[in-house]
Chain A
Amino acid sequence: MSDLIADQVDMTFTMPSGEQVHALKDVSFTLKQGELLSVLGPSGCGKTTLLNLIAGFLRPTGGQFTLNDMEINGPGVERGMVFQQGALFEWLTVAENVDFGLRMKKANKAESARKVEEWLEIVGLQGFGNTPTYQLSGGMQQRVALARCLINDPDLILMDEPLGALDALTREKMQSLVLKIWKETGKTIMIITHSVEEALLLGERLFVMAPRPGRLHKEYHLPFAEWGLNQDLRDVKKHDDFGTVREEILTMIWDMEEEIMGKTA
């Protein structure tokens, strides 16, 4: 039973000034093993906070998360993270970055080297092992970040706008890569994005979040990720169903944004 269960999670930040920010309110859901979940919502609705809570960087002020029947309490290798800017260690080469988790575990060196090679190949970076990371393009850096996370064989992969900083072409390639990895490894993946299209493509399930306080607003079960495994992503996007859902969600988010703007104005 390696499901992720969120049970009435509440998160309130207290600023040094004493001001309180209610970032998440009463969030409950269950993410089954092998599911692909995308989370969408206007900026500031608590997406990153939700991810940081699951990763164990923050402790919720109410409720709890359970993974593998254990309450989440602090960061752990079973929950891998991929960040928007990669957060690579620029003093290490590509291979050393990918190897980082194994090195921390003091794993067998020859074994590790083999695994690194394997993963570099999966993410399409064979031959780049000795390249310093600062010489890579943004897309390649994200591939390294993916490999670095996956080599640790986590149960749950958390991605915070991993493709946000990439150009459209690279982005599409990376989306296919994520789908491929999902299919081949069967991992549970939770991916945050602010692109509606991406959320539809990379979400078997899709949460739309609403702000102030951050909460789950609506949930969708979508077929597009499955389609994307066998079809070209552009064909998926051309499909009528895809357009309908996209329009619906866009309207929803626009309404939310308008509400915020109205409130603040």
Chain B
Amino acid sequence: MSEVFASPRGLIVGGLFIVLLIALIWAIVYGRKLARTEVTDLVFGNPQKALGGWHWVISGVSAILIFWLYFSWDAARAFFPNVANELCQVAKVESAVVPMRSAFPFESRLLRGTSLLSRDSTQIAQIRGRISNLDLEAEQVGSIEPLLDRLGALQVSLASPDSMAPETAAALDGIAARINELADQLDSGELSAEQVAAIATAREVDPGWGNTNKEIPIDPITERGARYAAVAAPLLEVSKEYTSIRNNSPAFLDEVAAIDADIKALIASTDSESVAQIGKDLTKVLKRIDDAVIFPPSALQPVEYALANLHEVHRDQQGSLRLIDAIALPGGRIVAGKTACTEQGSGRWLPKPSDTIRKFVGLADPTRGYKGHALLWYKQKTLAEMAGFFIPDWIADLVPGEYPRHNEAGEIGQNLKSKILNIATGNFASPSVPIPTGHIWDSMMRVLTGLFFGIVLGVPLGLFMGLSRFAKGFFDPLIELYRPVPPLAWAPLILTIFGIQDDGKIFLLFMVAFAIMVISARTGATGTQLSKIHASHSLGASRWQILRNVILPNSLPEILTGIRISIGVCWGTLVAAEMLAGTTGIGFVENVARKQNDYEIIWITIILLGLLGLLFDLVMRWVISRTIPWRGKG
């Protein structure tokens, strides 16, 4: 257990995991107890029963976090910081023997030779069948049939121990012996002094799972791992050697050459297209037999036994590692590559909470940010700069008179017109004020600006449409035609017209919000009780006063609900639009992270989007509860 909380991060994550487990169990036990004691209401379906229940919130939150910590292997990393490295060494051994094991019926059904033999015989039989169907002259058949017979015989000769070259048999026995040797070495558990020293070095270079830029240290940092690593390299050599062994005795090679020559002669001598095709097919079969990887089963026996033995030792030596792998690393495994060991499965695509937080801290650092832009920070901007941005330059053109011209001395004087131009272009000295910036700010501003214009233009039009037959009829086709189009379908067009910077996105969001606001305002206006309108008329209100004091407040619930929906839809549209184009914004960050397979950042953007969406919604709920407490009570 000493290694359990090796690092402070492990300590935190491990502690949190245990606390969450306790909280989850407590909440469930508490909830059940409460349910048993709360028997005053016997009726099922009473919505009152869904009120309260914060302990279930605790259990829900704990369950999510436990699930996350568990399936991202963060808990595993906290409790077993060395296990990934050890599994990496185990995986090295496994991948080293894969080429050998695949020739034997361990993971597959048949011995490799058996399946090759059956495949080639089937093909020879097929060609034989085609000849009888082809309506060939007896002479032609006479020249093909013997070739088929000889191919069959050649193949069969590979399966016979008698025709095998003695060197081949010796080579196979040698392989078996070396595998057994390595298995013994693994079993004995002995390590040389060098190997032990190498462990300490490796620990220094790569202190542990996820502690450096490398996902998993590739060199063994434990003795158990070192034992596996010690046999992995020689096993890889053995594997290579084994796959290069061919069952090709001199007699076999001679026969291959002879059959090849005869097939070529057959093809050369015929002008029948079908005979030439059969010749080509015969060559293909010959090429396959020529691979000579079919061995007599008896000759392979020692290798098979040796591999089985190695596998057993390999399994036994893992000991508790297998259990930990099964329990603590769910949903995936650790795989050894040529230069690195990697997590595969949920350990890979579900980022670990601790890594995510570490990355987030990096992103949140305004001096680093992401792609040269902070996540959320402020910068000093002069008032002049803002004036230059907001005041259109042509205002100066409207001032009567002419802009000053330079005089003979080359001096340029100032007049009112040029002074106003200076203000409009932001060309004056002014104090600076802090202005928020950053990806989050950019995204939020786009949504809020689009929403603002949507409300300012959509609500009056909606009210108008709710009250006037002309407005309803005239604008309805326009809105009903563009509204059902998914906003993103507009994006290519809008971004082309308005540019990929803020203008295009804001306009897109405006379109989204506008339609929703028009429809909600219209519904609100249509729903005004006639008696309220009558009452206000009798109380002497003018049309404008009725609109302002009766119809607008009466539509407020619908309008606010519309705003709430708009924010949600805008938020979704914005992120997608930012993924299409642009250089800032949360969607942009996620898109870049996606291209770089940076799952932690993808995860961070997802969480940020969720939290910001929630924030917007909470604000709206608060506004709604403050501004329309009468809702549903009128």
Contacts and interface: CB of A to CB of B under 8 A. Distances in A.
A90 B540 contact: no
A149 B538 contact: yes
A247 to B, nearest CB: 34
A105 B538 CA distance: 12
Contacts of A55: 534, 538
Interface string B602-634: 000000000000000000000000001110011
B350 interface: no
A25 B545 CA distance: 35
B538 A134 contact: no
A242 interface: no
B633 to A, nearest CB: 4
Contact of B537 (A75, A89, A132, A149): A75
A227 interface: no
Interface string B526-547: 0001011011111111100100
A79 B540 contact: no
Nearest to A133: B630
A121 B535 CA distance: 22
B535 A83 contact: yes
B554 interface: yes
Contacts of A57: 534, 537
A149 B531 CA distance: 14
B532 A105 contact: no
Given A89-B553, A90-B633, A81 B540 contact: no
Interface string B505-542: 00000000000000000000000010110111111111
Given A76-B540, A79-B538, A101-B540, A87 B554 contact: no
A100 B529 CA distance: 17
A215 interface: no
Contact of A91 (B529, B531, B540, B554): B554
Interface string A138-172: 00000001001100100000000000000000000
Contacts of A134: 629-630, 633-634
Contacts, number: 71
Given A75-B538, A89-B553, A104 B531 contact: no
Contacts of A77: 538-540
Interface residues of A, number: 28
Contacts of B539: 77, 80, 100-101, 104, 148-149, 152
Given A91-B554, A134-B633, A104 B545 contact: yes
A108 to B, nearest CB: 16
A112 interface: no
A15 B482 CA distance: 34
Contacts of A145: 535
B486 to A, nearest CB: 36
B479 interface: no
B54 to A, nearest CB: 29
Contacts of B542: 104
B376 interface: no
A55 B628 CA distance: 31
B550 interface: yes
Interface in A147-201: 148-149, 152
Contacts of B545: 104
B540 to A, nearest CB: 4
A87 B534 contact: yes
22 contacts: A57-B537, A75-B534, A76-B538, A76-B540, A77-B538, A77-B540, A79-B538, A80-B539, A87-B532, A89-B549, A89-B554, A90-B630, A90-B634, A91-B553, A100-B541, A104-B536, A134-B629, A134-B630, A134-B633, A134-B634, A149-B538, A152-B540
3 tightest Cβ-Cβ pairs between the two chains A and B:
A75-B537, A87-B531, A101-B539
